[in-house]
Homo-oligomer: A and B are copies of this chain.
Amino acid sequence: MAKCPYIGQIKLIQMETPLIDLESLRPLFAPKTIAIVGASSKPGKIGAAPLSFLQRGGFSGEIYPITRSSTEVAGLKAYSSIADVDGPIDMAIFAVPAPEIPGAFAECAAKGVRSAVMFTSGFAEVGEGGAQQQRQLVEAARSAKLRLLGPNCLGIANYAEGVFASFSPFFSGASRRSGNMALVSQSGAFGGYAAMAAQDQGIAFSYWMTTGNEADVDLADGLAFLAQDPQTRVILAYMEGCRNGPKLCRALEMCRSARKPVVMLKVGRTEIGAAAASSHTASLAGADNIYGAIFAQYDVYRADSIDEWFDVGRAAALGRFPRSNRIALVTASGGVGVFMADEAVSKGLDVEALGEAAQSEIRSLISFAGTRNPIDVTGQATADISLFEKSINAVAASDQYASFVGFHAGVGRSPAAGGRLQAAWANLLSHHPDCVVAVSGASSAELDRSYEQAGCLAFRDPGRAVRAVAALNRFRDSFDRRTARPPANAARQTLPPGVLSETRSLQALKEAGIPVVRHRIVQSAEEAVSAAREFGYPVVLKIVSPDILHKSDIGGVALALGDNAQVDRAFHQIADNARSAAPDARIDGCLVAPMLFGGVETILGVQRDPVFGPMVMFGLGGIFVDVFQDVSFRAAPFDEAEARRMIEETKAATILRGVRGAPPADIAALVRALARLSEFAAAHSDQISSIDINPFVVQAEGKGGCALDAVIVGLSEQPHDRAV
């Protein structure tokens, strides 16, 4: 509950193994026997809350209160020590102050308790002393094969089995109804608030979990467990940061393969937002980009607002995903129809025109109806509801659409008309069970509920209805995607630490399957001329030295050399410039390469992220990166389909397709280069700190592309964070 334990500490914390052991998590999510260490029957005591929640929640397993101050708590036999309990214990809830934790925890470990929920604060979140104690707990937990949730968390709830292992006051008055949406939050305070806000909206959870300090069990464990949980259809996640990127990625992949949408609320979008919560500004600056890339890569839906988070969650909990992007908008207001069409189009939906036959049918019912799509049934249909029903039927019978959003204005709330409208939509679903229906307009909580019981989504705001349906389309697209693994036959190279020279860098990339410009390293003007004649004029000459990074600045580059004499002169000039600017530099020679014209200059890069490992960057050169931040990232490795999505995320894609009369560029060649680069980066993630290919020139379609310049920086020491 105290300070966010993630913000700003990411670089300080070593990664752990990414292995997710689902079996070991079961006693935490579905315990049959629960001990409460520090149990109490005094209302207001932290140890009283979970006991009362478990009893009221209908938990049918054994509860063992552990306390020295009584032999009976809330009608149950109490034990002075966990060692006194007969039989196995799946979960121990710790509701004692920090100083009592080590002793009690050791008893648990000795007893063979399989999981622990620890509310207690005063660990890593308060400084190094607490962090030290927390590490000791983790060690003890690991050696006892006990999974630890917390410390400094608000616990976990399994609604179907009445497990309310929490002290959040929310659960004292909460509904116990179980649903098929799960919530995993790193923040306890937010988790409690979200549970309350969800209940206000009539949302029921399968599981609710807060992970606190994540000493052992973390958000990724929660996601992975819920991915295989049959009750859970969608997971709402709240996240502040992540310490083990590969583990998170693995969990997200498990969710995607299980067709379980993850709807994410990730805070710290802005640098100042992150800084505001932390004094460790620098360590997080820009990192939110990387989270955004991971979410894109694993098809996590990142909500911009809490409303959207719930809306999309509620939509996905229906378990229906439209088979296509084609959406019909049926509206009681022409203007709202346009508003919905705006939303639909900007979210990538296809507001396809209704077929002519169906349009005539509706026009024959309602003279001035808008029939193209949106279908505006006008005031005539709100006055005579049978026209509204018939219009819905006509649109459905066209069989063109996979989803339908209705806007009923105020009609839906009138008892007679509202019921008939609902029946019309329910009838549509019964004939088209693979379709999605969302209705909007003035409503009431009961009306919303009855729509949802009929399998429809109900919203007040028509825009929110359209956005939720758009999210379902995105999930459908994502379910069949798989994350690439580095190819088994990826040739392993041995790369030195530190900055590699341009030729060495180009060589390594070429071996990795990335096209590079033809080039030769020469030691004399004669060799330079001979290489130039072989390549054909014009050529470029560049100094090659591991000690000279900014070649142009010292006069180490000559461009557009048109004949033998120019090459000869340039070679001597460059050699002179290098000698006088950097007399001690090791010179490998001069690089000769053909000078290329035309094409689109792009930048391909790799940057080792401390959390997620090698991240591949793509963007256009120059101010496009600086001013427009028109770049995209992905974690390596990825396949060509993912490379294409990565390009499509940027405006560069428009430029590559050809603007202002330029021919389309060879996007396929760029896609291949990005995928190969990602495989190379993944296969050498223990050796590479960064790669900068600038520019990678993409020629016209069919003409390929190649790296003109590249710098690889090798890792100076073995990474501590390598986990895969």
Contact = CB atoms under 8 A, between A and B. Distances in A.
B378 A2 contact: yes
Nearest to A288: B342
Interface string A355-369: 000000000000110
A238 interface: yes
Interface string A412-437: 01100000000000000000000000
B189 A334 contact: yes
B627 A335 contact: no
A334 B461 contact: no
A504 interface: no
Interface string A626-656: 1110100000000000000000000100110
Given A460-B197, A627-B659, A2 B374 contact: no
Copies of this chain, tallied across the complex: 2
A272 B327 CA distance: 13
A409 B190 CA distance: 7
A200 B268 CA distance: 33
Interface string A168-211: 11100000000000000011111011001100100000000000
A169 B410 contact: yes
A42 interface: no
Interface in A369-422: 370, 372-374, 376, 378-380, 382, 409-410, 413-414
A193 B443 CA distance: 10
A240 B626 CA distance: 38
A305 interface: yes
A275 to B, nearest CB: 8
Nearest to A185: B335
Interface in A240-293: 240, 265, 267-270, 272-274, 276-277, 279
Contacts of A382: 1, 189
- With most chain B CB atoms within 10 A of its CB, the pick from A193, A238, A306 is A193
Contacts of A193: 332-333, 336, 409-410, 441-442
B413 A196 contact: yes
A464 interface: yes
A20 interface: no
- With most chain B CB atoms within 10 A of its CB, the pick from A126, A338, A409 is A338
A341 interface: yes
Given A378-B2, A464-B305, A651 B628 contact: yes
Contact of A190 (B305, B336, B627): B336
Contact of A462 (B125, B306, B335, B337): B306
B268 A338 contact: yes
B332 A189 contact: yes
Contacts of A460: 197, 200
A272 to B, nearest CB: 4
A4 interface: yes
A205 to B, nearest CB: 15
A189 B383 CA distance: 12
Interface string A610-623: 00000000000011
B125 A368 contact: yes
Given A378-B2, A410-B193, A187 B626 contact: no
Contacts of A464: 305, 307
A345 B273 contact: yes
A570 to B, nearest CB: 24
A463 interface: yes
A188 B379 contact: yes
Contacts of A627: 651, 654-655, 659
Nearest to A119: B379
Contact of A4 (B168, B338, B344, B654): B338
B410 A170 contact: yes
Contact of A342 (B273, B409, B654): B273
A1 B378 contact: yes
Given A3-B334, A306-B462, A345 B272 contact: yes
A538 to B, nearest CB: 20
Contacts of A380: 1-2
B2 A368 contact: yes
A372 B351 CA distance: 48
A267 B4 contact: no
A170 B346 CA distance: 32
A346 B270 contact: yes
Given A3-B376, A169-B410, A189-B379, 6 more contacts: A3-B334, A189-B333, A273-B341, A626-B659, A627-B654, A627-B655
29 contacts: A3-B376, A4-B334, A125-B368, A126-B367, A187-B333, A187-B334, A187-B335, A189-B332, A189-B333, A189-B336, A189-B382, A190-B333, A192-B410, A193-B336, A193-B410, A200-B442, A200-B460, A267-B336, A272-B341, A272-B345, A273-B344, A274-B338, A276-B374, A277-B372, A277-B376, A305-B463, A307-B461, A622-B660, A627-B659
